[in-house]
Structure formats: C-alpha cells, structure tokens
Structure 1
Amino acid sequence: MIAIKDLKKVYNNILVVNVPELQIAKGESIGLVGNNGAGKTTLFRMMLDLIRPEAGEVLINDENVAGHDDWKNYTASYLDEGFLIDYLTPEEYFYFIGGLHQQSRGQVDDFLAGLTDFFNGEILKRGKYIRDLSKGNQTKVGIASCLLQQPQLLMLDEPFANIDPTTQFRLKNMLKEVNKTGVTTLVSSHDLNHVTDVCDRILLMEKGRIIKDMATSSSTLSELEDYFAIEHTGAGQIKVDDEENH
C-alpha cells in the first residue's frame, strides 16, 4: 500500500530523514519508535505531504502523495492539536468531519455513542470549545475524528501521550479492532509496551534512519528495552549495523 523510495529531508544542513526504501503492505499495523529527534514525526509529515522532501518520493497505492489527492479520501491522521479546528465544540467538529464524508448527523451520533467509554464523559455536551479542552481530551477528539472517517489508512503520532492509563487501555483495544478490519495503521509512540502490544511490525528510527525492521514477537519488547537502555557504542553499535546490513 505504501512505498517509500530514497526519501531525504534536510534541516539546517543536517540530514534528518534518510529512508532509502520502505514497503508497507495493506492491512499491516506498523509501530514507529525512536528517541526525540529520530525523525519520526518528520517522516509522518512527508508521508502526508505536509512537508516536501529534498529527494525521493512517497507512494500510496502507487500514487505519489505530492501533487495528488485521491489518497486523501481514504487516509485519516492525527499528529497534534494543529489538526483540529479549535474554535468549534467537539460536536461541531465531528459533524463537520462526518459531513465531509457524506455522513448525516444521525450517523455521526450513532458512531459517537459507541465511544462513550473512550470519552469518559469528558468530551460531549460539556459546552467547551476544543481549544479549552485538556491536551489529552484534544487527543481523544483527534483520534475519534480519524475513526469516524472509516479510513483505509490510519496514521497516529503519539496517541498514548497525555491520556490516562484507562483510556490508553481502551485505545489499544480500539486499534486492535481497527486492525482486524484490514485498515493499515501506523502508530508512532515512545511507549514501547503499548506499541508492541498493538502493532505487528516495529520500525526503529535513529538519526533519521530506520535501523531495525522487525516483526513483533514475544521478545520484541525486551529487545527494544535493551536497545534503549545501552549506549550505542562499541559492540552495541556493531549489532545495530549488522542488523541493518542484514
């Protein structure tokens, strides 16, 4: 479904993303992990044509995202609160998003009724604009608006940040259910436990490069914890390089 070829992004003469090749099949659930500054959000923004690369291309269903629009009809994403229309109430925003996808207010209401536990009484009928919600509740609105669109491709950047443990648990179950329907999902997260629980495949980024690409198994979490726990020098660096060359 997604093909990345020779993708590069430079800021201040520093190469911040360098992905020679990446293939993501339809229906895969991908977790993207890495320290701050690894290039995760920049990669997501190039995949969504929010910023343009210095070189390379991103193809979704064989269509270059730069200069084309068809892929936008079946792609939903939430990277940060800048994706929201913050002078609307959550209800107004959901009706707006639903209208863009030919959904009636009744259909939107029916969908929102299924998110009662996820919202935990903090989103709807509160008389607040989105800008007045907490960061965590803004995240809930962003995620819910993505699911409302019933996308074929779902991209979420740090969806577990700023939300409480109970909501994190509910979100994990929601994403697992979405994956079962064949939706391609990409989730960037600092939470190794959550992302390995939700995703079938993990991409580890460091300094703009994908240095490990692994199918999730019972040992993946411990491998990632070991990786982030050590200094990447000496034998540790050799191991990473060997994995990458492999």
Structure 2
Amino acid sequence: MIAINDLKKIYNGVTVVNISHLEIKKGESVGLVGNNGAGKTTLFRLMLDLIRPDNGVVLSNGENVAGHEHWKNYTASYLDEGFLIDYLTPEEYFYFIGGLHRQSRATVDDYLSGMAEFFNGEILKKGKYIRDLSKGNQCKVGVVSCLLQNPELLMLDEPFANIDPSTQFRLKSLLKDLNKNKGVTTLISSHDLNHITDVCDRILLMEKGKIIKDIATSSSTLNELEDYFGVGQIIGSPVKVDGEENH
C-alpha cells in the first residue's frame, strides 16, 4: 500500500529523514518508535504531503502523494491539534468532516452515538469550542474524526500521549478492531512501548532519520525495545537494513 524510495529531508544541513526503501502492505498494523528527534513526525508529514522531500518519493497505492489527490480519499490522519478547526464545537467539526465525505448529519449522529464510551461524557453537548478542550479531549476529537471517514489507511502520531488510562485502553480496542476485523492499514507512532507493541504487529525503530530495525512483534519485542532504549542498542547481532549493517 505504501512504498518509500530514496526519501530524504534536510533541515539546515542536517538530514532528518533518510530512508532508502520501506514498504507497508495493505492491512498491516505498523508502529513507529524512536527517541525525540528521530524523524518520526517528519516522516509522517512527508507521507501526508504536508512537506516536500529533498529527494525521493512516497507512493500510496502506486501514486506519488506529492502533487496528487486520490490517496486523500482513503487516508485519515491526526498528528496534532493543528489538524482541528479550533473555533468550531466538536459537533460542528464532526458534521464538517462528515460532509466532506458525503455523510448526512443523521449518519454522523448515529456514528457518534456509538462512541459515547470513548468520549466518556466529556466531548458532546458541552457547549465548548475545540480550542477550550483539554489536550486529551482534543486528541479524542481528532481520532474520532479520522474513524468517521472510514479510512483504508489510518495514521496517528502519539495518540496515547495525552489521554487518560481508560481512554488509552478503549483506543487500543478500537485500533485492533479496525485492523483485524475491517482490514484498515494502521501506522501509529508512540513513545509508549507497551501500547505500541500491544496494538501493532510490526514495529519500525527509527533513529537519526533512519529505520534501523524492522521487527515482527512477538512476546520478546517489548523487552527488546526496552533493552534498546535502556542501553542504547538492540541486544543480539547487527541487523541489516537497506543492505547496511546497523549496530
């Protein structure tokens, strides 16, 4: 579904993304992990054509995302509150998003009624603008606006960061259902290693702009990641990524 080739982004002489080749197949659930400054959010923004690469391409179903539009019809993403329209109420925003996808207000209302547990009584019918919501509740609005679109590809940047523990578990359940039962391709970045290894079947470890490890999630993956972030390297032999050894 996604193919990345020779992708580079350079800021002030520093290469912040440098990926020679990466493929994400349709229906995969992929987690992206790495320290601050690893290039995760920049990679997401390149994949969404929010910024242009200095070299290389991102292909979505064979279409270069730069300068094309069709991929937007099946892609939903939430990276931060900048994706929201903060002078609207949550209801107004959901109706706006639904309208973009030719959904009636009744259809939107019906969908939102099924999200009552996820909202935990904190979002709808409160008379608040989105800008007046907490960061966590803004995240809930952003995530639900993505799900409302019935995407084939869902991209979320740090969705667990600001939400309460109960909502974290509800979000994990939603993401698992989307992937396992509806075949949605999910790409999620997170600093929370427990959540990301629980939700995703494949983990990409990113450092200094490069994917240095591509792991099929297993019972040992969490320990492997904890070892890396605890001592600075993956325990075991060097791994080959894009034909090069990484230690």
TM-score tier by shorter-chain length is: over 0.9
> For residues 167-219 of structure 1, what are the alpha-carbon distances to aligned partners after superposition, in whole Å with 9 as ceiling and x for unaligned?
00000000000002111100000000000000010000000000000110010
Output the amino acid matched with 2:146. Answer: C
Q: Which residue of structure 1 aligns with residue 239 of structure 2?
A: 242
CA gap 1:164/1:11 in 2 versus in 1, 3 angstroms: same
- What is the Cα deviation at residue 242 of structure 1? 3.4
Partners of 1:145 and 1:237 in 2: CA distance? 40
Q: Which runs of 4+ in 1 moved over 3 A?
A: 236-239, 241-246
Contact 2:228–2:235 (CA<8 Å) still a contact in 1? Answer: no
Unaligned segments of structure 1, at least 5 residues = none
1:69 corresponds to which residue? 69
1:109 aligns with 2:109: yes
**How many angstroms apart in 2 are the aligned matches of 1:16 and 1:29?**
24
The TM-score, its normalising length taken from structure 1, stands at: 0.96
Structure-2 residue corresponding to 1:78:
78
CA-to-aligned-CA distance 1:134-183 (integer Å, 9 cap, x gap): 00000000000000000000000000011000000000000000002111
Residue type of the alignment partner of 2:205: L
1:72-115 CA-partner distances (Å, limit 9, x unpaired): 01100000000000000000000000001010011001100111
Is the 2:146–2:154 Cα contact (8 Å) retained in structure 1? yes
| Partner residue in 2 for 1:176 | 176
Question: Aligned-pair RMSD on alpha carbons?
Answer: 1.3
> What amino acid is aligned across from residue 78 of structure 2 in structure 1?
Y
Residue aligned with 2:239, SS: helix
1:1-21 Cα offsets, whole Å, 9 max, x none, are: 000000000011000000000
SS in 1 for 2:38: coil
Q: With the length of structure 2 as denominator, give the TM-score of the two structures.
A: 0.96
Letter in 1 for 2:90: P
Match of 2:35 in 1: 35
* Residue matched to 2:208: 207
CA distance in 1, matches of 2:44, 2:127: 33
- Tell me the residue number matched to 1:220: 221
